[in-house]
Amino acid sequence: MAQIKTLADLQAVKERVYATMKTRVEGFDKNLPQIRIAMATIGIQAGAKEIYDYFIDQTDAKQIKAIVMQTSVIDDGNQQPVVVKVTMPDGESKIYENVDKKTADAIIDSLKA
Amino acid sequence: MSEYKMHILVCGGPGCSASKSEQIAANLRSHLQQEGLEKEVNVVLTGCFGFCEAGPIIKIMPDNVFYVKVQPEDAKEIVQEHIIKGRMVERLLYTEPSNGKKTPLDTDTDFYKKQVRIALRNCGIIDPENIEEYIALDGYKALATCLTEYTPEKVIEIVSASGLSGRGGAGFPTGRKWAATAKSKAEQKYIVCNADEGDPGAFMDRSILEGDPHSVLEAMAIAGYAVGADKGLIYIRAEYPLAIHRLQIALDQARDRGLLGKDIFSTGFNFDIELRYGAGAFVCGEATALIHSMEGLRGEPTMKPPRTSDKGYLGMPTNVNNVETYANVPAIILKGADWFSSIGTENSKGTKVFALAGQIKNVGLIEVPMGITLREIIYEIGGGMNGGKKFKAIQTGGPSGGCLTEKHLDIPIDYKSLSDAGSMMGSGGMVIMDESSCMVSIAKFYLDFTVEESCGKCTPCRIGNKRLYELLDKITQGKGTMEDLDNLRNLSHVIKDTSLCGLGQSSPNPVLSTLDNFWDEYVEHVKEHKCRAGVCKALMKYEINPEVCVGCTACARNCPVNAIKGEKKQAHQINQEACIKCGTCMEKCKFGAISIK
């Protein structure tokens, strides 16, 4: 292991490791939009896991600051089959149905602005 | 390494690991792997969460949901439901005793609401076996700051100004101790960490060492810089194998990263730490006895002066502080003396860790600001008495402390008010008792401990405590006299005044405080041969009410010593001479005919 010889070395380790622990220490950042993907049985069957992974990759790639997380049935469960709910920090939310990669891109791009 | 989406924190403290928390972590990992989630969800075995009553505990971040009394078999449901589907596992949520509601957020519980965590800041959050996680939460930054920006004098000034005082019991100001060792001139000085936690029921030092060992190592290095020592020693009891294991890992990792050893932070400062194992003798918590034990001599105290800051380990100036005291130091350096001294009371600054035990709902480890009242600790954090029973007494400070009562519940907890009330802060054990505890027996229990643990060097402690114990035993046998009660008090004062070290000087405290606060109970034992709590067996009498007894013979058949006689369908009688007071007859009687008199 590399020796830590200066305050800058220490700071570098801190920043690198803290990034991996941020969610553990701080919990959710309430100032970020939240993207919830419904992952109940039907959602998973219809490929929600793939869409979930796609959201994670794309928000990273496009450097969009958002919390991507899984949830169970969204609202009353009438929407089918891959459902995504986006909640903005001000509390406003919108539900998208039949989400595929194309819709996912549109959702991510809408958060860019 | 990419960012984990979720962290599952599993308590690896002593209580939870005894309830298979390591198995829970292993099961969680394997279920996550089956679901292909091991790169997104991180399972961390942390130090103690403190809420031992509800263990084993796991906490899921960032959701901030905590589950209690988790079994290894629950891992699958947690992964399937919470992690994959995002639904909380209702049945594993904590139910708040005060309102009966399920409480998913730990910060909302009565147990955690009033706590302020400084010494335990990282316990339950970081992986204690990974130095990088400690560094990520500003670990070793205080040491870097001291070495590169502050003079040793400045470090001592900050510690003094913070008002930090010894958390091992006596409460000596830490800054003054450091200054005294710094002033002593010698070629070699030592920094010692007293991890010989000996009070029955206390486990705060153990939890810190198991949950956040680096905080102690860092503080010892800071102390080394402040007083001019390049060698540290941790005296830890061999009964703490997990703490030793984690300390060893922490030492290896710190040396590996150059945070211990030669030329730390390229400043020319050298510091390294060795572990020394103690055999678990209570007297070795006393600084001079501890040092003799480390030197390979018998663990016996010596007269002070000379103080250890002048002549300590191998005759060299030595600074001895307790684990919890050290754990506070890095936070004080980083956040400043003003921040620390703003917490607590006029005379006692900062926080104190207490181990709650006894007949309350929430037992566990808590860290609270000085000045909180016993009532808040017992009824809010502790959740009140178990089984709806009535509060009787609280024992603080272990064998050196005393028993406080109802009338003391509203005094603010600090060093001075506890000792004014006849008890002491001690290392932080708190045993809460209800009406089923006999105070004479409690005093006897602590004396039994001191008699066993007295090193035997000085007469008042060796012989005096033994005589105290015999007097108490006589009283619990129903053979005590009023003169014995006077003798108890006189002898206690003699032992306190004439003993060599802190052990003997404080060992009569449980006797004196119970005499003061529960005088009636002593008198009852002596004059009426009665133990109101029903604890002293010699004073108990099982009796059969002939009007209720139907002569079913169940009691007579189950009595292990054949002390019950009587014809079938006739009222039975207990032969009091033969009775061993085991209580079996009362258990077996279906008619409630047997009672304790």
What residues pair up with B544 in beta bridges, in sequence order?
Answer: B594
Q: Which residue type, as a one-letter code, is found at position A64?
A: I
Angle at B305 between CA B303 and CA B310, to 5 degrees: 125
Separation between Cα atoms, residue B373 and residue B196, nearest integer Å: 28
pLDDT value for B70: 94
Does pLDDT of B464 surpass 60?
yes
Minimal CA separation from A93 to chain B, in Å: 18
**DSSP states of B215-228:** HHHHHHHHHHHHHT
Bridging pattern class, strands B190-195 and B102-103: unpaired
Bridging pattern class, strands B94-95 and B573-574: unpaired
For B76, the token pair is: 């699958």
What is the edge-to-edge ordering of all strands in the sheet holding B231-237?
A: B261-264, B269-278, B231-237, B190-195, B318-322
Tell me, yes or no, whether B286 and B156 share the same domain.
yes
Residue B2 pLDDT grade (very low, low, confident, very high; cuts 50, 70, 90): low
- Higher pLDDT pick, B318 / A51: B318
Residue B393's CATH number:
3.10.20.600
Residue B179 pLDDT grade (very low, low, confident, very high; cuts 50, 70, 90): very high
pLDDT digits (tens, 9 = 90+) for A24-74: 888 777 678 888 888 777 777 888 888 888 888 888 888 888 888 777 677
Task: Locate the chain B residue with the closest alpha carbon to A66.
Answer: B5
Residue B534 domain-assigned (yes or no) = no
Residues 6+ apart with CB under 8 A from B554: B588, B589, B590
Residue B140 domain-assigned (yes or no) = yes
pLDDT value for B104: 74
Chain B residues contacting A via beta carbons under 8 Å: 1-7, 9, 42, 44, 61-64, 83-87, 125-126, 132-133, 135-138, 140-141, 144-145, 148, 253, 256-259, 265-266
Query: Hey, where are the domains in chain A?
Result: 31-112
Minimal CA separation from B233 to chain A, in Å: 23
Residue B163 pLDDT grade (very low, low, confident, very high; cuts 50, 70, 90): very high
pLDDT digits (tens, 9 = 90+) for B28-70: 999 999 988 888 899 999 988 888 888 899 999 887 888 999 9
Q: Which of B159-163, B263-267, B346-350 has the lowest mean pLDDT?
A: B346-350
Separation between Cα atoms, residue A79 and residue A84, nearest integer Å: 10
Separation between Cα atoms, residue B441 and residue B278, nearest integer Å: 30
pLDDT value for B1: 41
For A49, the token pair is: 């896991």
Q: Are A7 and B148 in contact (CB < 8 Å)? A: yes
Q: Which residue type, as a one-letter code, is found at position B539?
A: L
Does pLDDT of B552 surpass 60?
yes
Tell me, yes or no, whether B198 and B307 share the same domain.
yes
Most confident of A3-7, B104-108, B216-220: B216-220
Tell me, yes or no, whether B588 and B471 share the same domain.
no
- Of B272, B194, B203, B206, which Cα lies nearest the Cα of B234? B194
On chain A, the residues whose CB falls within 8 A of the CB of B141 are 7, 10, 14
Mean pLDDT rounded to a whole number for chain B: 92
Bridging pattern class, strands B429-434 and B351-358: parallel
Q: Which of A58-62, B133-137, B529-533 has the lowest mean pLDDT?
A: A58-62
pLDDT value for A78: 65
Separation between Cα atoms, residue A76 and residue B335, nearest integer Å: 49
Tell me, yes or no, whether B451 and B320 share the same domain.
no
Are the CB atoms for B119 and B351 separated by under 8 Å? yes
- Higher pLDDT pick, B499 / A71: B499
Domains: count for chain B = 5
Helix%, strand%, coil% for chain B, nearest 5? 45, 20, 40
Per DSSP, which regions of B211-308 are E strands? 231-237, 261-264, 269-278
Task: Locate the chain B residue with the closest alpha carbon to A23.
Answer: B62
pLDDT value for A113: 62
Residue B191 has phi, psi (to 5 degrees) of -110, 125
Chain A residues contacting B via beta carbons under 8 Å: 1-7, 10, 13-14, 16-28, 36, 39-40, 44, 56, 67-72
Please identify, among B340, B367, B395, the residue that sits at the C-terminal boundary of a domain.
B340
Nearest CB to B136; choose among A6, A7, A17: A17
Residue B566 domain-assigned (yes or no) = yes
Separation between Cα atoms, residue B389 and residue B558, nearest integer Å: 30
Tell me, yes or no, whether B140 and B204 share the same domain.
yes
Does pLDDT of A100 surpass 90?
no
For B382, the token pair is: 């502790």
In the numeric block, the tokens 């099961």 are attached to: B27
On chain A, the residues whose CB falls within 8 A of the CB of B3 are 19-20, 22-23
Does pLDDT of B488 surpass 60?
yes
Bridging pattern class, strands B231-237 and B269-278: parallel
Q: Which residue type, as a one-letter code, is found at position B482?
A: M
Tell me, yes or no, whether B420 and B446 share the same domain.
no
Structural domain harbouring B567: 541-596
Residue B143's CATH number:
3.40.50.11540
Please identify, among B289, B308, B340, the residue that sits at the C-terminal boundary of a domain.
B340
- Of B81, B112, B82, which Cα lies nearest the Cα of B96? B112
Tell me, yes or no, whether B143 and B281 share the same domain.
yes
Residue B461 domain-assigned (yes or no) = yes
- Higher pLDDT pick, B97 / A14: A14
Residue B99 domain-assigned (yes or no) = yes
Minimal CA separation from A69 to chain B, in Å: 8
pLDDT digits (tens, 9 = 90+) for A45-54: 888 888 888 8
The total number of residues written for chain B in this structure: 597
Task: Locate the chain B residue with the closest alpha carbon to A6.
Answer: B265
Tell me, yes or no, whether B509 and B423 share the same domain.
no
pLDDT digits (tens, 9 = 90+) for B202-220: 889 999 999 999 999 999 9
Torsion angle in degrees (nearest 10) through CA of B372, B374, B378, B380:
-30
pLDDT value for A87: 81
Left, alpha or beta for B534 (phi > 0: left; psi -120 to 50: alpha)? left
Please identify, among B434, B451, B480, the residue that sits at the C-terminal boundary of a domain.
B434
Does pLDDT of B458 surpass 80?
yes
Separation between Cα atoms, residue B282 and residue B284, nearest integer Å: 5
Residue B476's CATH number:
1.20.1440.230
Tell me, yes or no, whether B512 and B586 share the same domain.
no
Does pLDDT of B502 surpass 90?
no
The complex's ipTM? 0.82
- Of B582, B480, B500, which Cα lies nearest the Cα of B596? B582
pLDDT value for B338: 96
pLDDT value for A75: 66
Tell me, yes or no, whether B383 and B465 share the same domain.
no
CATH no., domain A31-112: 3.40.30.10
Residue B62 domain-assigned (yes or no) = yes
Q: Are A70 and B85 in contact (CB < 8 Å)? A: yes
